[in-house]
Amino acid sequence: MNSLIRGIATFQGSVVPGQRRMNRQLVRDGQHPSALIIACADSRVAPGHITQAGPGALFVCRNAGNIVPRASDVVGGVSAAIAYAVVALGVRDIVVCGHSDCGAMKGLMNRDLLKRMPSVAARLRHADAAERIVCEAYPEQDRHHALALENVVVQLANLRTHASVAAALARGALRLHGWFFEIETGARPAYDGARGRFRPIAEADMPVAETSYVGSRPRAA
């Protein structure tokens, strides 16, 4: 905790003075993030850090396993964050970001680890389809890594069940992305929905999981 307190002091003493103009602007103009990122709560996977996005750029929702409950199952923090980001903030992109060495995915593969954490076990049932996919379609030695990837794809499918997301996709006003962050190397492949696989992100070539994006023009126009 002492290191956190020292960090706060450094922030107030050294960082804030250099950001006063930006901070005033953020208050005056409000927030206008272009993207919602739903990431794991893992301390090694910080959305602002891995995207180098500054204050105001990202609307962030984090939980163990980057889980997105289907709209019909649970009304909770993730559902509210999605609706607020899409309807109130008008984000143009939603990213579901999984990662390597994910403890939630380890729990999903080994339910004994979850016996003393029933709330975590209950949340992870929203990833049951990913577990089933890897158990039936991947060799045993590949399953943990594959589970974290397949979980991103399953959570993207869950995301589409939310009315705000479905409506924004229908309007041609939203793109969905599935990212995977390799902690050790910093690599970050993204899911290419058209090809059905993850591939590297290049600066001018961002794989997209799903898009009907046509700016503000209705899709059917």
Q: Which stretch binds Zn ion (CB under 5 A): 103-111, 119-127, 129-137, 158-166?
A: 103-111
Angle at the Cα of 191 (from 189 to 195), degrees rounded to 5? 120
Q: Please select the residue that binds Zn ion; options are 38, 40, 97, 152, rule is CB under 5 A.
A: 40
The answer to whether the CB of 183 falls within 8 A of the CB of 101 is yes
Using the rule CB under 5 A, is 146 a contact of Zn ion? no
Partners of 63 in the β-ladder: 40
Q: Is 106 exposed, middle or buried (0-12, 13-18, 19+ CB in 10 A)?
A: middle
Q: Other C-beta atoms within 10 Å of 142: how many?
A: 12
Q: Other C-beta atoms within 10 Å of 22: how many?
A: 12
- Cβ proximity to Zn ion: between 38 and 173 the closer is 38
Q: Which stretch binds Zn ion (CB under 5 A): 104-112, 160-168, 172-180, 195-203?
A: 104-112
Q: Please select the residue that binds Zn ion; options are 102, 133, 134, 169, rule is CB under 5 A.
A: 102
Using the rule CB under 5 A, is 97 a contact of Zn ion? no
| Structure-block tokens of residue 191 | 């899911």
- Cβ proximity to Zn ion: between 91 and 104 the closer is 104
Using the rule CB under 5 A, is 71 a contact of Zn ion? no
Q: Please select the residue that binds Zn ion; options are 33, 36, 42, 169, rule is CB under 5 A.
A: 42
Residues of the shown chain interacting with Zn ion in the complex, contacts defined by CB under 5 A: 40, 42, 102, 104
